Chains A and B, each alone.
Chain A
Amino acid sequence: MRTPSPPGAPRGEGSAPPSRRPTSRRLATGSQGRYGYLFLTPFVLAFLVGIVAPLLYAAYLSFFQERMVGGTTFVGFDNYARALEDQLLRAGLWRVALFLAIQVPLMLGLALLAALAIDSGLLRWAPLFRIGIFIPYAVPAVVASLMWGYLYGDRFGLVRQIGDGLGVDTPNLLGSSWMLASIGNVVTWEFVGYNMLILYAALRVIPEELYEAAAIDGAGEFRKAWSIKLPALRPALLLASVFSVIGSFQLFNEPNIMQSLAPNVVTTSYTPNMYAYNLAFNGQQFNYSAAVAVILGLVTAVVAFAVQVSGSRKEHAQ
């Protein structure tokens, strides 16, 4: 992710006036470039080994098929053709898309509220709230899912017990109609604090003068939030959205833990990531699994890119 620059900042060298001393400048650029590449090497190496090579290997694997009877053969795009037809993969993609459409706005809305509240200066014990909301992020997803799973449990779970105590018939939170919402709740609980920090950090860099100017113009707190804070938050919100889009498509830990509590609700293909995992490790279908992973990666990239483009377009329109 590029660091978003504040609106109105100079937009790079391209628009700068022509240089006054072209000759010496060109020389300097040349030798700087050489050294620059040298300094880049460690990163480039790590990038190639850690990111490009595994991606290429996964892509390579996806063009083969290994069978228990018949061994390994090159199959071209067969795995991709199969994946595009695969109802289980499609159902999983729709499921995470639905999750994305509902959970992400909800979570970012809550994070925004929390960030604005803490930044408003009207809150007592603001640091306490900040750390309190952030703490769930420090809990590993596996532990968080287990913990919530116990609370959700239909027979002895806390929710059911409270419901029984009040004489209210609580729904089965681990049943098929509630499971996605229950997982959404866990994810929201885990990541509200994280997103709040991103937004809060963006709020802290707004210069005081803007608020002072607004106050002189007679703006109240709400007007300040609406006209100064929200526009300034746009790049940070965009960043958080892109992270959340990626997170949603890669949903794995939470449903995977819930599976042991409700095996008939969370199937092996509940999310695309779980599907890829089960294909590889229960079915030994590493090649098909690689194709599924590549498709999932592409879908994620496309959606994240779309969010980014639409977000920055609005930014330009401002």
Chain B
Amino acid sequence: MAHPRPIHRRTLLSAFSAAALTLAVTACGNDGESGPKGDPADALDTPTTLTFWTWAPNVDKVVARFEKKYPKIKVKVVNAGQSAAQYTKLQTAIKAGTGAPDVAQVEYFALPEFALTKRLVNLKDYGAAELEPKFAASAWSQVSISGGIYGIPQDTGPMAMFYNAEVLRKFGIEPPRTWAEFEAAADKLHRADPDRYITSIDPGDAGFLDSLLWQAGSRPFRQTSDSSVSVDLADNGAQKVAEFWTRLLNKNLVDTAPGWTNEWWQAMSSGKYAMWIIGAWAPGNLASTIPNTAGQWRAAPIPQWNAGDSVSAENGGSANVVTATSKHKEAAVAFATWLNAEAEGTRALSEAGLFPATTALLTDPDFLDTPIEVLGGQKANQVLAQSSEAVKTGWQFLPYQVYANSVFKDTVGQSIGARKPLASGLQAWQERITEFGEQQGFSVSAS
């Protein structure tokens, strides 16, 4: 077990889409450029068994609705592990040519790796381009890779600040709106009670830092062609983030506990940490892991670099992909489309606890007005949907981000743990990423 920590998290939301999503799978017409493809709608009328690898919660119930609607299609839901564990199996199975599923869940950060190595079907050939208006721009941009479309967004994780309202009230701290206010709040809290911290920065979680860089306007990873990438972890945004968090670490204003551990949850539960800045999937985890704190939490926008701005980033989230080895590509595309783009499927997924990727749900009044219990009945989806809207565009992941993230703890994590300047950790990270890229045959530039 390499990564016991759950990378994919969920929210427990209940939402009812009133918006009529009438566009059926027939919209997936046959307008691809690379040869004739079958019609996904026809495929739904042919007896087929599809295999679907996912670790999303309660998906079997959603799938049951699909099977009821299209009785000729049977979908076998398999949990082949979570995140990196599943990717290893998926890579191996696709490479071997047998044993791979037809449809699989892949997180956005791992998607370029699968796309580049031609492990996935370019859904553009099946008319998926028409689905673009249905999805939040932040989600769609993450499945659009090198001019193709390699997945249908399943869920997203726009960043938000989940704060413990009781702790902040107790110490007379207003929820910070900017990073400057965040620093002042951190100082005030830790001064008042040296056992408490505003939050903890996880030395093992590349995803959090990626999101901070993303929000600060840094674009460290870019694929410039099929065989070249650029890595720049010292651009303006990265410097800004590094200086800020180095200062907080030096002044001992943030803790450095690894996340998702027993200790970290205890600290979250006991009010030792005042907030958790993370993707919109967080409330579900709070509710299920530390139910004793239900009602204490509130959601607010992620702190801004400039007062009055509204700039956000993504954290986590997955797409559903169709594998290159699938023998039922049309049916697979139709299933993934129904599940993730149509009203019935997306509503069911949302009820199952995923934060939506479709604009229809993100603007649905029923969804927006749902009170969330763990957040004290706050209609937090409004905050989270706004964050989705405010996600800054232009972010890219490397075609080998899985590896890059895995050596985060060897490099930036060292700086965090030792409370040393993050800039040197970022530089070490860049070196490891560059070295690996060159070993993989990429030309790696640093600008």
Taking Cβ atoms with an 8 Å cutoff, the residues of A that contact B are 67-70, 142, 150, 153-157, 176, 256-257, 259-265, 267-269, 277-278, 281-285, 288
Contacts and interface: CB of A to CB of B under 8 A. Distances in A.
Counting from the closest, the 4 A-B pairs by CB-CB distance are: A263-B204, A264-B417, A69-B441, A67-B441
Main secondary structure of the interface of B (DSSP, over half): loop
A153 B91 CA distance: 36
A257 B258 CA distance: 13
A282 B403 contact: yes
A257 B267 CA distance: 21
Given A69-B441, A256-B1, 10 more contacts: A68-B116, A68-B442, A69-B226, A153-B263, A155-B263, A157-B263, A262-B258, A264-B204, A282-B407, A288-B439
B2 A278 contact: yes
Nearest to A155: B263
A288 B257 CA distance: 33
Residue among B5, B261, B400 facing the most chain A CB atoms (10 A cut-off): B261
B439 A67 contact: yes
Contacts of A261: 258, 261, 263
B4 interface: yes
A68 B258 contact: no
B203 A263 contact: yes
A284 B91 contact: yes
Contacts of A277: 2
A277 B84 CA distance: 13
A284 B89 CA distance: 11
A64 B5 CA distance: 33
A260 B441 contact: no
Contact of B409 (A68, A150, A257, A263): A263
B321 interface: no
A256 B262 contact: no
Contacts of B236: none
A260 B409 contact: no
B178 interface: no
Nearest to A282: B406
Nearest to A150: B262
B399 to A, nearest CB: 7
A265 B117 CA distance: 33
A25 to B, nearest CB: 55
Contacts of A260: 3-5, 204, 258, 260-261
B227 interface: yes
A251 to B, nearest CB: 16
A201 B257 CA distance: 46
Interface string B411-443: 001101110000000000000000010011110
B402 interface: yes
A150 B409 CA distance: 21
A268 B1 contact: no
Contacts of A267: 409-410, 414
Contacts of A284: 91, 400, 403
B250 interface: no
Contact of A281 (B2, B400, B417, B442): B2
B146 interface: no
A53 to B, nearest CB: 17
A155 B256 CA distance: 11
Contacts of A282: 2, 84, 402-403, 406-407
B288 interface: no
Contacts of A68: 113, 116-117, 399-400, 440-442
B413 A264 contact: yes
Residue among A142, A154, A268 facing the most chain B CB atoms (10 A cut-off): A268
A69 B440 CA distance: 6
A273 to B, nearest CB: 12
A161 B256 CA distance: 19
Contacts of B2: 256, 277-278, 281-282
A264 B84 contact: no
Nearest to A68: B440
Given A69-B226, A69-B227, A264-B417, A285 B407 contact: no
B416 A264 contact: yes
A263 B441 CA distance: 29
Contacts of B442: 68-69
A155 B203 contact: no
A288 B409 CA distance: 21
Given A68-B440, A69-B442, A263-B204, A278 B257 contact: no
24 contacts: A68-B400, A68-B441, A69-B440, A142-B1, A150-B262, A153-B262, A155-B266, A156-B263, A156-B267, A176-B417, A259-B409, A260-B3, A260-B260, A261-B258, A264-B409, A264-B416, A277-B2, A281-B2, A281-B88, A282-B402, A282-B403, A284-B91, A284-B400, A288-B439
Residue among A256, A264, A284 facing the most chain B CB atoms (10 A cut-off): A264
Contacts of B407: 268, 282
Contacts of B202: 263
Contacts of B417: 176, 262, 264-265
A268 B441 contact: no
Interface in B392-408: 399-400, 402-403, 406-407
Nearest to A274: B2
A156 B417 CA distance: 18
A268 B409 contact: yes
Contact of B406 (A176, A268, A288): A268
A262 B418 CA distance: 12
A150 B261 CA distance: 9
B364 to A, nearest CB: 38
Contacts of A69: 226-227, 440-442
Nearest to A263: B204
Residue among A142, A153, A265, A282 facing the most chain B CB atoms (10 A cut-off): A282
Interface string B57-84: 0000000000000000000000000001
A250 B2 CA distance: 16
Contact of A263 (B91, B117, B400, B413): B413
B258 A263 contact: yes
B413 A278 contact: no
B227 A264 contact: no
B431 to A, nearest CB: 12
B203 A264 contact: yes
B406 A283 contact: yes
A162 to B, nearest CB: 16
A132 to B, nearest CB: 27
Nearest to B409: A263
Interface string B182-219: 00000000000000000000111000000000000000
Interface in B99-117: 113, 116-117
